[in-house]
Structure 1
Amino acid sequence: MPAIDTLAQDQRALRRRGLTLALLTITYFFSYMDRQILAILQEDIKRELMLADWQLGLLAGLAFAVFYATLGIPVAWLADRTNRKNIVAISLAIWSAMTAFGGLSQNFGQLLAARIGVGIGEAGSSPPSHSMIADLYPPEKRAGAMGIYSLGVVLGSAFGTFIGGLVAHHYGWRAAMYVIGLPGVALAVIVWLFVVEPRRGLSDPQHAAAMAAPIPPLRDGFAAILRNPAALHLVMAVTITSMIGYGLTAFGPSYMQRSLDFTKAEIALYIALPGGLCATLSAVLGGKLADRFARTHGLHMQSTMVAVLKTLALPFTLGFLLIDQPGLAIAAYFINLLLANSYLGPSFALIQGLAPVRQRALWAAITLLVINLVGLGLGPTLVGTISHVLRGPLGEDSLRWSMILFAAVTPWAIWHYWRAGVLLRAR
C-alpha cells in the first residue's frame, strides 16, 4: 500500500510540475521586485533622507546580503529534511511584509532595518526552490526549467523598475514600496495551497540508493564542493558574474538619471519593460540552447556556451557606460541583456546536477551564500563606495567610472566558465 501511495504522489507531482515551476518562478519574481524596487527609488530616497552613495550601496548590498546569504544555510539544512513548499510560502510572506514596512521609514536606520528584514525573508526562497525543481525535472531538461525559474530575476527586476518608477512618479517612493510589497502576502497563501512537494530524487531514479542513506552533516556540503573542481569553478564564475551584475543593476537607474538625463517615468516606460523582454529571451533561449547542447555535445557545452555569450556581451556592456548619446547607449544596454542573461539557468542546473541528491538544497544554499555575500554584498556596496570616493575629482561622472571598473572584471568570470567546461568534459 505505501508503494502505491508513493506512486500516486509521484504521478501527481509530475502532472503538476508545470504549475509548481510557475508558482516558484512567480515567487522568485516577487523577490526580485522587492530587491530592485530600491534602485529606481534611490534618487528620491537620497534626497528625502539625505543619504550618500555609500549608504545607498549598503542598503542595496551588504545590509541585505549578509542576512540573506548566511541564513540560507540553516534554511537549506531544514529544507533537506522538511517540507520545502512551506518554507517558501512562509519566507515569501515575511519579505513582502518587510518591503511594505520600508515605506514607513523616516531615517536611514529604519530603512536599513526594513531591508535587513527583506534579506531574512528571502533567505528561505531559492535553496528549497532549486531542490524541488531538480527533483521534478531530469538532467536533460533541468537547464531549461532553471532558465524558466531564472525569469524571476529578469522580469522581477524589470517590473520592479516599471511599477516602482510609475507609482513613485505619481504618488511618491513610499507608496511604491507598499504597492510592491503587500501583494506578496496574498501570493504566499496561493503557494502554500497549490505548490506540490515532490519526492526527493524523483527525477534521478539512478540515485535511489543514495536516498536511503543518512543525510550528510552540514560540513560535508562545503567539503564536497571543495573536492569537486568543476563545481568550484562554476561557483566562482557565477559569483563574479553576480557581483558585476548586482553592482551595475543596483545603480543602473541612478546612472541613467545622472549621466543620460532620463527621468524615473522614462526609465519605467521606455527602458524597464523592453530590457526585461531582452533579458527574458536571453534566459529562456539560453536555457533551451543549453539543454540542446547537453543532449548533442554533453553537459560541458553548457558552461562553454555561457563563456562565449558573456564574451560577446562585454563590448556592449562597456558601450552602455561609455557612450554619451542616450539612444545608442540604451541600444547597447538592450543587446548586452540579450546576450548576458543566459548564465543563471545553466549555472544552477550544472551545480544541481553535480550535487549529491540529499544535499541539493544545501549545495544551492552554499552557492547562494557565496554569490550573495560576495556578489550581492560587495557589488552594490563597492560601486557606491567607489563612486563616493571618485565624486571629488569626477563629479557626477563618478558613478559612470565606478561602474566601468566593475564591468572590466568580466573576463575573470569568463575564464572560470571556460575552465568548468574543460573539467566537465573530462569527467
Structure 2
Amino acid sequence: MPTHRYRRYLLILLTVNLGFAFLDRVALGMLLQDIKVDLDLSDTQLGVLSGIAFALFYAVMGIPLARWADTGNRVTLLTLTTGLWSLAVGLCGVASSFVQLIFIRVGVAVGEAGAFPVGISMIADYFNRAERPRAMAIYTLGGPLALVGGYLLAGVLNELVGWRTTFMLMGAPGLLIAALAWLTLKEPRASESPAARGASLNADQRSGADVLPTVPQEQIPSLRMVLKVLASNRTFRWLLLYISIAFFFVYGNLQWLPSYFMRSWSFSSGEVGLWFALIFGAVGLFATWLGGELATRFAPCNERLQLLTVSFVMIACGLLSTLVFASSHIPVVLVALTGVSLAINVSSGPIYAIIQSLVPERMRAVSMALVMLFANLVGMGLGPLATGALSDLYGEWAGAESLRYALLTMSPGYIVAAWFAWRASRTVAEDLTAVDDKPVLSAESQIPKASAV
C-alpha cells in the first residue's frame, strides 16, 4: 500500500477506534437515569460509577500501556486492548448490582486505556510538526463521532430495548476493529534492518510522508529518563495543568447533562439523544475539524498563537456554560450549549499536536499517558463525582432543581483552565526550540535545564 494511502487508512482506522472507545462513556451518561431507577442508586453513586471507578484504572493503567506503546509493538497492544474493552462493555448489560457494574467498568477502563496513547504515538510518527494539528484534529474527531452515536443511538436504543441490551450492542463493533487492526496495520519499528529503514525513510521523505526513523532498542530512554525530561519542560507542565482542569469541568458537566435535561426540562431520552447528537456530535465534528484546519492553515508552527486562541476560547466556554444553567428559556439554553460544544472541541487538535511536538519520538505515548493520568483522575474521576455530591448537597433546599445548581456552580471553572493555556503560550516557543522536533535519546546531556514555574 503506498505510503500516502496507508497514512490515510491508518488515521481513519485509529479515529474510528477512538470513536467506539469513547462511545461507551457517552452512552453511560444517557443511561444513568435508567440505571439509577433500575438499581436504586443515589447521585453520588452514579458519580462514582461514571467518574472515579472508571477513571482511576483508566489513568493508572495508561502508564504501563503507554510504555509498551513507546517500546514495543503498538499493533499488538491496540488489538488486545480493543478486544478487552469491547467484551467488557457488552458485559455491562448483565450487571445486577452497583458492585458488579463497578467491577465490569474497571475492565472497560483497562481496555480503553490503550487506545489514546497508541493512536497519538502512531500518528505523530507519520505526520510532521506542521501537519500534526490537522492530523490530530481528524483523530480527535473520534470524540464528536462518539457523541453522535452515543447520544442518538443510546437514546433511541434505550427507549426500544432498554439500557442492558444497549450496552451489549455497543460492545460488538470493537471486536471487528480489533481484527482489522491485527490484520492490516503494521508496526513501523518491527522487522526492518537499519539499511531497509534508511531506504524506506528516503523514499517516504521524497513522497512527503515524513515518517520518523526507528530508534535503536539500546537507545530507548528509561521510564525514569522520560519522566525527568517531561518534568523539566515548562510548557508540558502548564499543559498538563490545563488539560486536567479543563477535563474536571468538561466531564463534571457533560456526564450529567442528559440527566439535567430529563429532570429540569422533562426531555425524554430520545429527545436528549437527538439534540445532543446535533449539538455535541455534528457541531463537535465541525469544531474539531475547524480547529485543526485553522491551526494548520493560519498558524503552522506558531504554537504560541494557537495557545492564546485556546485561552480566549475557554473564557468564552465558561461564560456560555454559566448561561446554559442560569437561563429559564430553552432556546437560549440550546444556543448557549452549542457555543460550549464549539469551544470545547475547537481546541483539541492543536493542544494534542503541541504536546506531541514538545517531546521526542520515544516519549510520545508516555507523555500522553501521563497527561491522561492526571486529566482523568482529576477530570473524569472527580468531575462527575463533584457534581453528583453537590447535587445531593443542594437537594435539601433546591429539591428537583439541585442538579441545575450543581452544574451552575461548576461552569465558571473553564476560565481557570484558560489561565493555564495562557501561561503555556509564554514558554512554548523556547521549549519547542529545545526539542527541535527530533528524537531525543537517553543521554542526560540532552535534557533541557529545568526552569522555575
Interval of TM-score (by shorter of Structure 1 and Structure 2): over 0.9
For 1:196-275, list aligned pairs within 5 A: 196-199=186-189, 214-275=219-280
The amino acid of 1:130's aligned partner reads I
Deviation at 1:120, TM superposition (A): 0.9
Deviation at 1:404, TM superposition (A): 1.7
8 Å Cα contact 1:290-1:305 kept in structure 2: no
The amino acid of 1:138's aligned partner reads N
Choose from 100, 113, 130 the match for 1:140. Answer: 130
Q: Does 1:161 align with 2:151?
A: yes
> Once the two structures are aligned, what percentage of the paired residues are identical?
34
| Alpha-carbon separation, structure 2, partners of 1:309 and 1:373 | 24
8 Å Cα contact 2:324-2:337 kept in structure 1: yes
Q: Does 1:371 align with 2:361?
A: no
Number of the residue aligned with 2:435: none
For 1:72-151, list aligned pairs within 5 A: 72-151=62-141
8 Å Cα contact 1:290-1:346 kept in structure 2: yes
Query: Does the C-alpha gap of structure 1 residues 278 and 211 become closer, same or farther in structure 2, counting only changes over 3 Å?
Result: farther
For 1:8-407, list aligned pairs within 5 A: 12-199=2-189, 214-295=219-300, 298-407=302-411
The amino acid of 1:282's aligned partner reads A
| Alpha-carbon separation, structure 2, partners of 1:43 and 1:343 | 30
Query: Does the C-alpha gap of structure 1 residues 381 and 333 become closer, same or farther in structure 2, counting only changes over 3 Å?
Result: same
Structure 2, unaligned stretches of length 5 or more? 191-196, 432-453
Deviation at 1:309, TM superposition (A): 1.6
Query: Does the C-alpha gap of structure 1 residues 187 and 205 become closer, same or farther in structure 2, counting only changes over 3 Å?
Result: closer
| Matched positions, count | 416
Query: Does the C-alpha gap of structure 1 residues 392 and 189 become closer, same or farther in structure 2, counting only changes over 3 Å?
Result: same
8 Å Cα contact 1:135-1:199 kept in structure 2: no
The amino acid of 2:137's aligned partner reads G
Deviation at 1:206, TM superposition (A): 11
Deviation at 1:159, TM superposition (A): 1.2
| Alpha-carbon separation, structure 1, partners of 2:128 and 2:402 | 47
Query: Does the C-alpha gap of structure 1 residues 213 and 143 become closer, same or farther in structure 2, counting only changes over 3 Å?
Result: farther
* CA displacement, residues 301-337 of structure 1 (integer Å, 9 cap, x when unaligned): 1111211222223222111111122222112111221
| Alpha-carbon separation, structure 2, partners of 1:198 and 1:320 | 47
* CA displacement, residues 191-249 of structure 1 (integer Å, 9 cap, x when unaligned): 22223433599789797696676111112222222211111111111111111111111
Deviation at 1:124, TM superposition (A): 1.0
8 Å Cα contact 1:168-1:176 kept in structure 2: yes
8 Å Cα contact 1:13-1:196 kept in structure 2: no
8 Å Cα contact 1:211-1:358 kept in structure 2: no
* CA displacement, residues 240-263 of structure 1 (integer Å, 9 cap, x when unaligned): 111111111110100111112211
Number of the residue aligned with 1:7: none
| Alpha-carbon separation, structure 2, partners of 1:22 and 1:150 | 11
8 Å Cα contact 1:34-1:96 kept in structure 2: no
* CA displacement, residues 81-128 of structure 1 (integer Å, 9 cap, x when unaligned): 111122112111111111110000111011111111110111111111
* CA displacement, residues 141-161 of structure 1 (integer Å, 9 cap, x when unaligned): 101111111111122123112
8 Å Cα contact 1:54-1:381 kept in structure 2: yes
* CA displacement, residues 245-292 of structure 1 (integer Å, 9 cap, x when unaligned): 111111010011111221101112233234311111111100111223
| More displaced stretch, 186-195 vs 235-244 | 186-195
The amino acid of 1:44's aligned partner reads D
| Alpha-carbon separation, structure 1, partners of 2:77 and 2:211 | 28
Q: What is the RMSD of the two structures over their aligned residues, measured on CA atoms? A: 2.1
8 Å Cα contact 2:43-2:391 kept in structure 1: yes
Number of the residue aligned with 1:3: none
| More displaced stretch, 152-161 vs 11-20 | 11-20
The amino acid of 1:382's aligned partner reads A
8 Å Cα contact 1:242-1:376 kept in structure 2: yes
The amino acid of 1:179's aligned partner reads L
8 Å Cα contact 2:189-2:214 kept in structure 1: no
| Alpha-carbon separation, structure 1, partners of 2:368 and 2:96 | 36
The amino acid of 1:158's aligned partner reads V
The amino acid of 1:115's aligned partner reads R
| Alpha-carbon separation, structure 1, partners of 2:384 and 2:412 | 15
TM-score (norm 2): 0.87
| Alpha-carbon separation, structure 2, partners of 1:305 and 1:66 | 31
| More displaced stretch, 61-70 vs 271-280 | 271-280
8 Å Cα contact 1:278-1:335 kept in structure 2: no
| Alpha-carbon separation, structure 2, partners of 1:300 and 1:207 | 25
